[in-house]
Chains A and B, each alone.
Chain A
Amino acid sequence: MAEPVLDIRNLSVNYLTPRGTVKALRRINLQVPSAKVVGLVGESGCGKSTLISAVIRLMAENARVAAGEIRFTGKDMQQLSSRDLRAIRGRDMSMVFQDPMTALNPVFTVGRQMKDIQYRDAVSGKEKLKRASDMLSLVGIPDAVSRLDNYPHHFSGGMRQRITIAMALLVQPKLLIADEPTTALDATLEVQIIRLLKDLQADFQCAILFISHHLNVIAELCDFVGVMYAGELVEKGSVRDIFHRPGHPYTRALLECDPSVIAEPTRFLPTIPGEIPSLIDLPEGCIFHDRCPGAAQVCKNTPPPEVSLAEHHTAACHCLEV
């Protein structure tokens, strides 16, 4: 495999708080190969957003990278000056946020905003507007040229998310980070946005790091999937490995909980009993042991090894060792 666009190695991130050090991410290893879509799933508080903010180096003030490195197209993100970072962000790496209502500036027209983000390119303003309108028609906004003069509030939610995708792709990034881009949208719009992302990804050949907690969206869009739990990447593999042959007990439980998977109607749905452990006083051993149905004695006091289940498919669990 060629060198991945994004290579996260052994990354640990802490938050310094008055109550103690929150170990928000621990020993994350994740690669995003070029022109592939990598999905990240996990429940609230698992560290998905911390991971993204570490990747784009827009971390909260009390966040510290405790160990590890993030390489983007071969460059070590930790070593770059803020000037170099600015050159990367919004050009080689761009982002689509969760809420399309707040991602656009309400007091400027869409055309103005789309023109402004091309500030680096030495072409005429007319040309920039042309690119913007071309991009808008590509993401399925009818009558693009005249709509450049509209303000964000003239567009509906689905349209605005299309616009933010258009803006993110306008710079032809090498990596697109999409943080729950469909969560705020209705189901029929979600289908449309996923289709759109899939088609555009095929055209633009950019790599996508896609964060979602909608399993069906991940299954449809992604090539590789990483499953996060309480700050650790507990399992990763190809989309088929994860959905057809999940190894880690947490992945299996998560898949079983999805009501759309349960074929027969049932009044009582499966759940994962218990709560996410405190990230200040981490439990010894496996992070999932107190909620795991198959936890053995060894799980309580020894951290699990990374077990290779297939090519590119690994899970951190004692019970998978042969």
Chain B
Amino acid sequence: MEPLLEVAHLRVRFKTKSAVKALIEKDKDPYIDGVMGVSFAIEPGRTYGLVGESGSGKTTVARAIMGLVPVHSGTIRFNGENLVGLSRDRIKPFRRDIALMFQDPAGSLSPRLKIRSILAEPFRIHGMMPENLSVEVARLLKMVNLSPSMGDLYPHQLSGGQARRVGVARALALSPKLIIADEPTAGLDVSVQGEILNLMAQLQNDMGLSFLIITHNLAVVRHVSDHVAIMYLGRFLEQGPTQTVFHHMRHPYTQALLSAHASPDPDAVHHRISISGEIPGLVSRPQGCEFHTRCPGVREKCRRQFPPREDAGKDHRYYCHYPLSVPEN
């Protein structure tokens, strides 16, 4: 099937100093790399999971797709059309088709607006005011299983789960084709987390929506996404169909992340692949394979050169000189 969104060799760089300062300091490359050439595609009606620790560049990828950060190189094709380099006016229509669900549900709702006004904003911004706004607001609230009377409340009167639902309703306002959900379950209790994810799955079934879910919660990704990419310092170290990546992972970082999400069993013998240290900053990007500073299986070659891309099967790729062996069966 023709993908809805196709990102190829996306690279995002951020300037670290002014041109004058760079000239004075004779710094020929006053940039840091936020995203180092990632490629992936989302088919209509599918969910893509983007997993990584803080500072790995997940949100930057999302912002690049929305045209909120300048893209250095690469292409972002939405329905076949390249969004990179489009002017503000030309990109605006695409923003109707791509909606964002923000990370902090309460913080992303203006405290001074009633829910009804918050839900009307997308229509206003895109000059698409419906004839009967209150009917439209009631319809959106109903879609996310909230009562229409909630339109009269202010955000502080909502619980965390309800605020999250309003975030979903706002994303749905202009009937988008793709929703980018940044940490849709962060800060929610497990019982409420399921409600939000089930709502998203329901909407996907009913409306054929595609999702790009950004999260650090692997347990969630395993259930909701069809494909998954493991991100580290701006690169996809491993990507592929969720089942393949979870059961036949080849990259040691994937294995370490997975083992950090053991199931709660006091008697389980934890075969935890402990990785030491923390994700290095983008400014001090390590030479060679970026993961070598924390990798339990690091060897000389890893310190010198970044590994080439390896294809392990349909859509399954990774970057590692010494990949994990494929488990039997």
* Chain A residues at the B interface, C-beta cutoff of 8 Å: 43-44, 156-159, 186-192, 195, 213, 215-216, 218-220, 239-240, 243-244, 253-255, 257-262, 265-272, 275
Chain A positions within 8 Å of B267 at CB level:
240, 244
Whether A192 and B276, one on each chain, are in contact in the complex, defined by CB atoms closer than 8 angstroms, is yes
Known: A188-B257, A269-B197. A44 touches B263 (CB 8 A): no
Q: Chain B 238-249, CB within 8 Å of chain A: the 1/0 string?
A: 000011000000
Determine whether B41 belongs to the interface, using a CB cutoff of 8 Å to chain A. no
In the bound complex, what is the Cα–Cα distance between A254 and B259 (angstroms)?
22
Are A269 and B216 touching (Cβ within 8 A)?
no
Q: Cβ of B223 and Cβ of A258 under 8 Å apart? A: no
B150 interface residue (CB < 8 Å to A): no
Interchain CB contact under 8 A, A259 and B223:
yes
**Contact present for A253 and B191 (CB under 8 Å):** yes
CB distance from A237 to the nearest CB of B (A): 11
User: Quick one: CB contact mask for B203-232 with A, threshold 8 Å, 1 for yes?
Assistant: 000000000000011111011100000000
Check if B328 is an interface residue, CB within 8 A of chain A: no
Q: Is B54 among interface residues, defined by CB-CB distance under 8 A?
A: yes
- In the bound complex, residues from chain B placing their C-beta under 8 Å from that of A243 are 264-266
Residue of B192, B242, B263 near A261 (CB, 8 A) is B263
Contact of B53 among A187, A258, A271 (CB under 8 A): A187
On whether A260 and B219 interact (CB within 8 A), knowing A158-B278, A267-B224, the answer reads yes
- B223-A261 in contact (CB<8A): no
Partner of A213, one of B190, B217, B265: B190
Q: Are A219 and B265 in contact (CB under 8 A)?
A: yes
Q: Say whether B62 faces chain A, with CB atoms less than 8 Å apart.
A: no
Residue in A44, A192, A254, A269 whose CB lies within 8 Å of B223: A269
Bound complex: CA A260 to CA B194 (Å): 12
List of A residues within 8 angstroms of B268 by Cβ: 219
- Shortest C-beta distance, B220 to chain A (Å), equals 6
B274 pairs with A191, CB closer than 8 A: yes
Does A261 lie within 8 Å of B257, measured CB to CB?
no
Interface 1/0s, chain B 172-203, versus A by CB < 8 A? Answer: 00000000000000000111111101100100
Task: Tell whether A216 pairs with B222 under 8 Å between CB atoms, given A43-B190, A254-B190.
Answer: no
Measured between beta carbons, the chain A residues less than 8 angstroms from B257 are 187-188
Query: Other CB < 8 Å A-B pairs besides A186-B278, A187-B218, A265-B223, 4 of them?
Result: A43-B191, A189-B278, A259-B222, A269-B197
- Complex CA gap A216/B219 in Å reads 12
For A258, what are the chain B residues with a Cβ–Cβ distance below 8 Å? 190, 219, 263-264
Q: Is the C-beta of B301 less than 8 angstroms from some C-beta in chain A?
A: no
Contact between chains at B223 and A188 (CB < 8 Å): no
Q: Are B198 and A269 in contact (CB under 8 A)?
A: yes
Per-position binary interface string of chain B over residues 274-299, scored 1 when its CB falls under 8 Å from any chain A CB and 0 otherwise: 11101100000000000000000000
Whether a CB of chain A sits under 8 angstroms from the CB of B160 is yes
**What are the residues of chain B within 8 A of A257 when measuring CB–CB?**
190-191, 193-194
Contacts of A43 in B (CB 8 A): 189-192
Q: How large is the interface on B (under 10, 10 to 19, 20 to 34, 35 or more residues)?
A: 35 or more
Give complex CA distance A64, B68 in Å: 50
Quick one: closest B residue to A183, CB to CB? Answer: B187
- Cross-chain contact B272 with A271 (CB below 8 angstroms): no
Closest CB of chain B to A232's CB: distance in Å?
17
30 intermolecular pairs with C-beta atoms under 8 Å apart: A43-B192, A44-B189, A158-B278, A159-B278, A186-B53, A187-B53, A188-B53, A191-B260, A192-B274, A213-B190, A216-B263, A239-B266, A240-B266, A243-B264, A257-B190, A258-B264, A259-B193, A259-B217, A259-B222, A259-B223, A260-B263, A262-B223, A265-B222, A265-B243, A267-B223, A268-B198, A268-B201, A269-B197, A271-B194, A271-B198
Residue of A188, A253, A272 with highest tally of chain B CB at under 10 A: A188
Q: Which A residues touch B195, using CB under 8 A?
A: 271
Query: Which A residue's beta carbon lies closest to that of B224?
Result: A267
Residue of B nearest to A191 (CB): B260
Chain A residues lying within 8 Å of B261, measured Cβ to Cβ, are 187, 216, 260
**Cα–Cα distance between A257 and B219 once the two chains are bound (Å):** 11
Cross-chain contact B159 with A216 (CB below 8 angstroms): no
Bound state CA distance, A253 and B220, in angstroms? Answer: 17
Closest to A239 in B: B266
- Residue with the greatest number of chain B CB neighbours at <10 A, chosen from A190, A253, A267: A267
Kindly state whether residue B256 has any CB partner on chain A within 8 Å.
yes
In contact, B216 and A186 (Cβ under 8 angstroms): yes
- Which residues in A have their C-beta under 8 angstroms from that of B193? 257, 259, 269
Given the interface contacts A188-B257, A261-B264, does A267 sit within 8 Å of B201 by beta carbon? yes
Alpha-carbon gap, A253 to B194, bound state (A): 12
Residue B312 is within 8 A (CB to CB) of chain A in the complex: no
Q: Is B270 an interface residue (CB 8 A)?
A: yes
CA separation between A314 and B190, bound complex, in Å? 23
B266 touches A190 (CB 8 A): no
C-alpha spacing A187/B279, complex, angstroms: 12
* 5 closest A-B pairs by CB: A269-B194, A260-B219, A271-B194, A43-B189, A272-B191
Distance in Å: Cβ of B152 to nearest Cβ of chain A: 19
Query: Is B262 at the interface (CB under 8 A from chain A)?
Result: yes
CA distance A218 to B257 in the complex (A): 19
Complex formed: what's the CA distance from A156 to B281 in Å?
10
Which residues of the other chain, B, contact A266 by a CB distance below 8 angstroms? Answer: 223
Please indicate the chain B residues that have their CB under 8 angstroms from the CB of A259 in the complex.
190, 193-194, 217, 219-220, 222-223
Query: Nearest A residue to B275 by beta-carbon distance?
Result: A188
How many Å lie between the Cα of A220 and that of B194 in the bound state? 23
CA of A240 to CA of B264 in the docked complex: distance in angstroms? Answer: 11
- The reply to whether A190 and B219 form a contact with Cβ atoms under 8 Å apart is no
**Which B residues are in CB contact (< 8 Å) with A219?**
264-266, 268
